Amino acid sequence: MDFMHDVAIIGAGVAGSSLAKDMAARGWDTVLIDGKSFPRHKVCGEFLSPESLGTLDELGLRKTVERLQPRRIERARLIVSSGGALDVPLPGTGLGVSRYALDSALHQAAYRSGVELVTGTPVAEVHPAGGGFRLVLKPAEDGLPQELLVRSVIGAWGANPRLMRLQRPRDRAVSRTGGCIGVKSHFTGIPMEPVVELYFFPGGYLGLSPIEGDRVNVCALLKRQAFPEAEPTVSGLLDAACRRHPLLRRRLLDASPVPGTEAAVAPVRLDRQPLTWGRFAHVGDASLLVPPLCGDGMSMALRSARLCARLADRYLDGTVSLAQWQAEYALAVQREFAGPLRWGTWLHSLSGLPVLPRLLLALAQLMPNLAASLVKATRLKGRGS
């Protein structure tokens, strides 16, 4: 059978784009497909942890990111609704950069490496075909279905295919159903130190992270049922969150939202078990959903892409079988991510209990090494900044 590409990657976020660039740089004919158009805003903390920088170096992407002029971040500040605060040094310098800018830069880097980029075209079907796969792409209006024959497929479609964008001045309604919802918007007029600020309050938490262009990413994870009175829009939910935390409300008093940067995603499920393989390999949030309190989501997306690329390369050149790729990838993901995921999930569960954030804050103030140890437990290991 005559295959059109060596590998098709479905999903053009951080994991998919970096993986596509890596595969093309290794000499493989690569196509990167996403059902959405870019650039676009996404719900994300928009923070590249210190641990991510070594992986960016390995992928040849660090200069690409630095050209975006990201903000440098050196500490995390935890602030409870009673007003108590704790500064925790990061194990290196992180970077604050918007997904709008980062995704575009990664796409350009992938394109320069020889990747064929297809966006705004969802994959409707994937079928086994002659030792590879046949992909059916959903046609545009009045268009005919397009088929691709590829030797291998990798899923990088993120955690929730129902990602929603809510834009001013006409915010689309956010679902009133239960579970957690993630919302985000960019703001101006918030003076920031090189710090990610995390505000904890009944029903969720909200982070302020400086990004390029003197903007601040305001991103929250909220229990939908805890805010029945909130207007079901991004702006309405952020306003409701601010009313739960006096310091946060004062912090955003003079801030101005940037129109068009609002986004929401629901439901957010943090109890999903890692799934490294279905009919083919998964990377990024398609394989494991990182609890936000890890603060390491994009780093883990990059690391999973790097792990998968090495094995996909060996499979395509005949060094390992498909079964070996699957088994070795599952072991690598377990080895790299099991600890951070376990600790991140535990911290997230504690954050939902009213007294425990204050209790942990008090313990950390009595034992300063405790906070640093918890941060270390949620981080990836083995690559420095």
225: pLDDT strictly greater than 50: yes
Mean pLDDT of the chain: 84
Tokens matching residue 314: 């060996």
210: pLDDT strictly greater than 70: yes
pLDDT 10s digits, 237-253: 999 999 999 999 999 99
Query: Rounded to the nearest 10 degrees, how much is the dihedral formed by the CA atoms of 143, 145, 150, 156?
Result: 80
28: pLDDT strictly greater than 90: yes
Q: Over range 259-280, report the average pLDDT.
A: 83
Q: Using DSSP, state whether 349 is helix, strand or coil.
A: helix
96: pLDDT strictly greater than 70: yes
- What pLDDT, on the 0 to 100 scale, is given for residue 311? 98
β-pair type (71-80, 195-201): parallel
HSE-CB of 267 using CA atoms within 13 angstroms? 12
- What pLDDT, on the 0 to 100 scale, is given for residue 352? 54
- What pLDDT, on the 0 to 100 scale, is given for residue 78? 85
The rounded distance, in Å, linking the Cα atoms of 74 and 196 is 8
Pairwise pLDDT comparison (332 vs 31), residue with the higher score: 31
The Cβ of residue 224 has, within 10 Å, a number of other Cβ atoms equal to 22
Of all residues in the chain, what percent carry a pLDDT higher than 70?
Answer: 78
β-pair type (132-137, 123-129): antiparallel
- Give the E-state strand segments of 122-203 in sequence order: 123-129, 132-137, 146-155, 164-165, 180-188, 195-201
pLDDT 10s digits, 313-333: 999 999 999 999 999 999 998
Pairwise pLDDT comparison (287 vs 116), residue with the higher score: 116
Q: Which residues pair with 119 in a beta bridge?
A: 34
Pairwise pLDDT comparison (352 vs 85), residue with the higher score: 85
Cis peptide before 39 (omega within 30 of 0): yes
- What pLDDT, on the 0 to 100 scale, is given for residue 349? 59
Helix extents (H) in 60-121? 62-66, 99-112
The rounded distance, in Å, linking the Cα atoms of 194 and 186 is 17
Of 128-142, 149-163, 356-370, least confident by mean pLDDT is 356-370
Highest mean pLDDT among 45-49, 66-70, 343-347, 368-372: 66-70
Q: Using DSSP, state whether 32 is helix, strand or coil.
A: strand
The rounded distance, in Å, linking the Cα atoms of 140 and 145 is 8
Confidence band of 170 (pLDDT split at 50, 70, 90) = very low
The rounded distance, in Å, linking the Cα atoms of 236 and 325 is 46
Residue labelled with tokens 């805010």: 227
Q: Over range 182-210, report the average pLDDT.
A: 94
Confidence band of 297 (pLDDT split at 50, 70, 90) = confident
- What pLDDT, on the 0 to 100 scale, is given for residue 342? 63
115: pLDDT strictly greater than 80: yes
230: pLDDT strictly greater than 70: yes
